[in-house]
């Protein structure tokens, strides 16, 4: 992890992701609160989440295809600028014109997925394969920190000034993101002049179709996505039934619900730091399998804990702990795809990854809605934990025969490798490498 922090290009891109994460969580938290405050309807509020989910499912793979067609750093910068522009309508209080809220939420969902796909696809061009797990853990760390900061600011902004502060805060954060991306792109180009963008001349939709077909033929992608899909269903069950669990099983109110969701991000921060320091010693397959199974085991303890105690302190501790294996799993899954897919196809691979995850999460949410009132909430959540265990087994067994070597790339060697070679050449010629 400390090796990565010594490279200016990576640090700038990483910092850009942090500001983007803060802005995204600012909106993810603030917009539903605003809608509920205006309408008082939980059903109408859920429409915001539904719009975000549907946009991610239907347009996610197209967003990933853009990352394979254009320069990924330039694409991230342009996306951040567009995200800043999209929040401008929130400067005028939408009131009961909820279509404005849904439009902003849907657009941000697609743009965020485009940004994330491009960033994840660009990482192998920034770092050596041995540092991919560490780089992904730092990206996951951004998500947790962004969630902590953005969620808090989102609730505060709505309380103080409605959607106006959301618009201002989001726009400022996205503009800073674009500026950091531009600076990071210059730093990367300075150290890797031979790098070329993964542009294409054939039609966009033809590339999109061929890319999806290639993903289906790639064993690494198939197994990884199957494992992720099982986790997505489990996450969908959790999103809906967690509130029910706190109310019915723990006999607590919304205060504890908010605390437990918040402290999970603390575990995510700790997990990002731990995986970042140990990433070079653990394979992506091992991170996925250990992460998912540990997550499932801790979940089983949580869901069956009320039979022994309902003391909030125990559940706060468990929710902090469960954030650590979650980061390990995500870091391993990202690295598995990055090492198993050619550079020219990485954008579409991550686009498909996010689209399938969102679809699976939607299925889990639908199942939770159907089963939550028919069966015991603890029973259904035990199934949720079991899905994580199965996800870990799928990763461990299915990826056993998959090698960890990075496939041939048409975009040149990773930046840190190229920089090291440039330094050796500079020393041999008696000059200083930049």
Per-position DSSP letters for 311-354, written without gaps between them: -HHHHHHHHHHHHHHHHHHHHHHHHHHHHHS-GGGHHHHHHHHH
Superfamily of domain 211-400: MFS general substrate transporter like domains (1.20.1250.20)
- Please report the pLDDT score of residue 42 as a whole number: 65
Q: For residues 377 and 73, what is the distance between their CA atoms, to the nearest angstrom? A: 45
- Half-sphere exposure (CA, 13 Å, Cβ side) for 136? 32
Cβ atoms of residues 104 and 48 within 8 Å? no
Q: How much is the pLDDT for 210? A: 67
Report d(CA 354, CA 356) in Å as an integer.
Answer: 6
* pTM summary value: 0.78
The pLDDT, as a whole number, for residue 208 is: 66
CB atoms within 10 A of CB 21: 26
CA–CA distances in Å: residue 286 to residues 172, 384, 396, 424: 39, 21, 7, 34
- DSSP SS3 for 197: coil
How far is it, in rounded angstroms, from Cα 355 to Cα 60? Answer: 5
How distant, in Å, are the alpha carbons of 102, 127, 141, 212, 243 from that of 135?
Answer: 33, 8, 10, 26, 33
Rounded Cα distance between 341 and 129, Å, is 12
Neighbours of 392 (CB within 10 A): 25
Place of tokens 């805060």: 169
**What span, in angstroms and rounded, lies between the C-alpha atoms of 323 and 413?**
34
For residue 311, count CB atoms less than 10 angstroms from its CB and return exposed for 0-12, middle for 13-18, buried for 19 or more. exposed
Name the phi and psi angles at 126, rounded to 5: -100, -35
| CB atoms closer than 10 angstroms to residue 327 | 29
Question: Shortest CA distance to 260 belongs to which of 321, 320, 327?
Answer: 320
Closest CA to 326 of 247, 269, 253, 243: 269
Q: How far apart are CA 224 and CA 395, in angstroms?
A: 7
pLDDT in tens, the chain (434 residues): 567 777 788 889 989 999 999 999 899 888 888 887 888 776 677 777 788 888 888 877 787 788 888 889 999 999 999 999 999 999 988 877 888 998 999 999 999 989 988 998 888 888 887 888 888 888 888 888 888 888 888 878 887 877 888 899 999 999 999 999 999 887 776 555 444 445 455 666 666 676 667 677 788 888 999 999 999 999 989 988 888 898 889 988 767 877 887 788 888 888 888 887 776 677 899 999 999 999 999 999 999 999 999 999 999 999 999 989 998 999 899 989 988 888 888 888 888 888 889 899 989 988 888 887 788 999 999 999 999 999 999 999 999 876 544 454 444 445 444 444 444 434 343 433 33
Query: How far is Cα 387 from Cα 237, in angstroms, rounded to an integer?
Result: 10
The tokens describing 281, both together, are: 């010693």
Q: Which residue has the tokens 């022994």?
A: 308
1-196 with 211-400: one CATH topology? Answer: yes
What confidence score (pLDDT) does residue 426 get? 43
Q: Is 119 exposed, middle or buried (0-12, 13-18, 19+ CB in 10 A)?
A: buried
Q: Where do the domains of the chain lie?
A: 1-196, 211-400
CA distance 323 to 165: 30
Q: CA–CA separation, 323 vs 127, rounded Å?
A: 25
Name the CATH topology of 1-196. Growth Hormone; Chain: A; (1.20.1250)
């Amino acid at each position: 992890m400390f090796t990565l922090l010594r490279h200016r290009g990576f640090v700038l891109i990483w910092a850009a992701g942090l500001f983007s994460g803060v802005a995204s969580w600012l909106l993810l938290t603030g917009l539903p609160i605003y809608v509920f405050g205006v309408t008082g309807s939980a059903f109408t509020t859920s429409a915001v989440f539904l719009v975000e989910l549907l946009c991610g499912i239907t347009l996610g793979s197209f967003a990933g295809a853009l990352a394979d067609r254009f320069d990924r750093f330039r694409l991230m910068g342009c996306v951040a600028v567009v995200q800043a522009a999209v929040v401008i309508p929130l400067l005028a209080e939408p009131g009961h014109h909820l279509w404005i809220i849904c439009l902003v939420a849907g657009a941000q969902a697609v743009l965020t997925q485009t940004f994330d796909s491009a960033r994840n696809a660009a990482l192998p061009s920034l770092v050596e394969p041995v540092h991919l797990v560490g780089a992904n853990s730092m990206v996951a760390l951004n998500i947790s920190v962004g969630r902590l900061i953005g969620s808090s600011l989102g609730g505060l902004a709505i309380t103080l000034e409605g959607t106006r502060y959301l618009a201002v805060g989001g726009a400022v954060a996205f503009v800073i993101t674009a500026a950091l991306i531009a600076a990071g792109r210059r730093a990367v180009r300075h150290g890797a002049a031979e790098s070329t963008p993964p542009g294409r001349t054939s039609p966009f939709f033809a590339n999109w179709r061929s890319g999806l077909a290639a993903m289906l033929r790639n064993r690494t992608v198939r197994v990884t996505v199957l494992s992720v899909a099982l986790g997505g269903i489990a996450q969908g069950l959790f999103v809906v039934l967690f509130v029910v669990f706190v109310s019915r099983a723990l006999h607590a109110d919304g205060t504890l619900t908010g605390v437990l969701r918040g402290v999970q991000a603390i575990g995510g921060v700790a997990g990002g730091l731990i995986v970042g320091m140990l990433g070079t010693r653990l394979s992506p397959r091992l991170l996925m399998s250990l992460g998912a199974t540990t997550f499932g085991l801790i979940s089983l303890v949580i869901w069956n804990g009320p039979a022994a105690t309902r003391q909030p302190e125990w559940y706060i501790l468990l929710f902090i702990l469960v954030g650590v294996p979650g980061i390990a799993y995500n870091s391993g899954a990202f690295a598995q795809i990055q090492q198993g897919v050619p550079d020219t196809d990485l954008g579409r691979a991550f686009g498909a990854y996010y689209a399938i995850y969102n679809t699976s999460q939607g299925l889990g949410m639908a199942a939770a809605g159907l089963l939550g009132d028919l069966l015991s909430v603890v029973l259904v959540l035990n199934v949720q934990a079991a899905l994580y265990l199965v996800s870990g087994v799928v990763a461990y067994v299915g990826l056993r025969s998959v090698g960890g070597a990075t496939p041939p790339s048409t975009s040149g060697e990773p930046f840190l490798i190229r920089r090291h070679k440039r330094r050796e050449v500079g020393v041999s010629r008696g000059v200083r490498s930049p």
